[in-house]
Structure 1
Amino acid sequence: MNTEFIHALKDLEREKGIQLGVLLEAIEAALVSAYKKNFGSAQNVRIHIQPETGEIKVLAQKRVVEKVNDPRVEISLEEARKLNANYEVGDIVEKEVTPKEFGRIAAQTAKQVVIQRIREAERNLIYEEFIARENDIATGIVRRQEGKNWIIDLGRAEAIMTPSEQIPSEVYTQGERIKIYILEVKKTTKGPQIFVSRTHPGLLKRLFELEVPEIHDGIVEIKGVAREAGTRSKIAVYSREEKVDPVGACVGPKGIRVQAVVNELRGEKIDIIKWSDDPAVFVANSLSPARVLDVEIDYENRVGRVIVPDNQLSLAIGKEGQNARLAAKLTGWKIDIKSESEAGDWHGWDDEDFEF
Structure 2
Amino acid sequence: MNGNKELIDALNQIEREKDISKEILLEAMENSLVAACKNHFGKADNIKVNINRETGAVNVYAEREIVETVADPVTQISVVEARLKFPRNDIGDIVNVEVTPKNFGRIAAQKAKQVVVQKIREEERKVLYNQYYSKEKDVVTGIVQRYVGNNVSINLGKVDAVLTENEQVKGEHFRPTDRIKLYVLEVKDTTKGPKITVSRTHPELVKRLFEAEVAEVKDGTVEIKSISREAGSRTKIAVHSNNSDVDPVGACVGINGARVNAIVNELRGEKIDIINWSEDPAILIENALSPAKVVAVSVDEPEKSARVIVPDYQLSLAIGKEGQNARLAARLTGFKIDIKSETQADEIGW
Instruction: Flag whether TM exceeds 0.5 (same fold).
Output: yes
Superposition deviation, residue 131 in structure 1? 1.6
Tell me the distance in 2 between the aligned counterparts of 1:318 and 1:156.
44
> Are 2:322 and 1:320 aligned?
yes
Q: Name the structure 2 match of 1:209.
A: 211
Tell me the distance in 1 between the aligned counterparts of 2:147 and 2:178.
13
Superposition deviation, residue 159 in structure 1? 1.3
Superposition deviation, residue 5 in structure 1? 2.2
The counterpart of 1:199, out of the listed 187, 201, 206, is 201
Q: Name the structure 2 match of 1:307.
A: 309
Q: State whether residues 37 and 43 of structure 2, in contact with CA within 8 Å, keep that contact through their aligned partners in structure 1.
A: no
The counterpart of 1:156, out of the listed 155, 158, 172, is 158
Superposition deviation, residue 344 in structure 1? 5.8
Superposition deviation, residue 97 in structure 1? 2.3
Q: Name the structure 1 match of 2:277.
A: 275
The 1:341–1:101 alpha-carbon spacing in structure 2 relative to 1, beyond 3 Å, is: same
The 1:303–1:61 alpha-carbon spacing in structure 2 relative to 1, beyond 3 Å, is: same
Q: Name the structure 2 match of 1:167.
A: 169
Give the % identical residues: 57
The 1:90–1:271 alpha-carbon spacing in structure 2 relative to 1, beyond 3 Å, is: farther
Tell me the distance in 2 between the aligned counterparts of 1:66 and 1:195.
67
SS of the residue aligned with 1:47? strand
C-alpha offsets along residues 217-265 of structure 1, whole Å, 9 cap, x if unaligned?
Answer: 2110000110110011001100011111100000000000000000000
Superposition deviation, residue 2 in structure 1? 2.4
Q: State whether residues 134 and 183 of structure 1, in contact with CA within 8 Å, keep that contact through their aligned partners in structure 2.
A: yes
The 1:65–1:334 alpha-carbon spacing in structure 2 relative to 1, beyond 3 Å, is: farther
Q: Name the structure 1 match of 2:128.
A: 126
C-alpha offsets along residues 65-89 of structure 1, whole Å, 9 cap, x if unaligned?
Answer: 4664322112245543332233255
> Are 2:222 and 1:220 aligned?
yes
The amino acid that maps onto 2:206 is L
TM-score of the pair, normalised by structure 1: 0.92
The amino acid that maps onto 2:11 is L
Tell me the distance in 2 between the aligned counterparts of 1:134 and 1:151.
18
The amino acid that maps onto 2:208 is R
Superposition deviation, residue 327 in structure 1? 0.4
Q: Name the structure 1 match of 2:10.
A: 8
The 1:91–1:273 alpha-carbon spacing in structure 2 relative to 1, beyond 3 Å, is: farther
Superposition deviation, residue 49 in structure 1? 1.1
Q: Name the structure 2 match of 1:84.
A: 86
Q: State whether residues 309 and 345 of structure 2, in contact with CA within 8 Å, keep that contact through their aligned partners in structure 1.
A: no
Q: State whether residues 79 and 90 of structure 2, in contact with CA within 8 Å, keep that contact through their aligned partners in structure 1.
A: yes
Q: State whether residues 338 and 345 of structure 1, in contact with CA within 8 Å, keep that contact through their aligned partners in structure 2.
A: no
Q: Which moved more, 1:162-171 or 1:65-74?
A: 65-74
Instruction: State the Cα RMSD in Å.
Output: 1.8
Provide the aligned length of Structure 1 versus Structure 2: 345
The amino acid that maps onto 1:147 is G
The 1:343–1:306 alpha-carbon spacing in structure 2 relative to 1, beyond 3 Å, is: closer
The 1:290–1:74 alpha-carbon spacing in structure 2 relative to 1, beyond 3 Å, is: same
Q: Name the structure 2 match of 1:26.
A: 28
Q: Which moved more, 1:288-297 or 1:95-104?
A: 95-104
Q: Which moved more, 1:97-106 or 1:164-173?
A: 97-106
Q: State whether residues 228 and 331 of structure 2, in contact with CA within 8 Å, keep that contact through their aligned partners in structure 1.
A: yes
> Are 2:105 and 1:103 aligned?
yes
TM-score of the pair, normalised by structure 2: 0.93
Stretches of structure 1 that go unaligned for 5 or more consecutive residues are 347-356
Superposition deviation, residue 194 in structure 1? 1.2
The counterpart of 2:337, out of the listed 335, 338, 346, is 335
The 1:281–1:81 alpha-carbon spacing in structure 2 relative to 1, beyond 3 Å, is: same
SS of the residue aligned with 2:121? helix
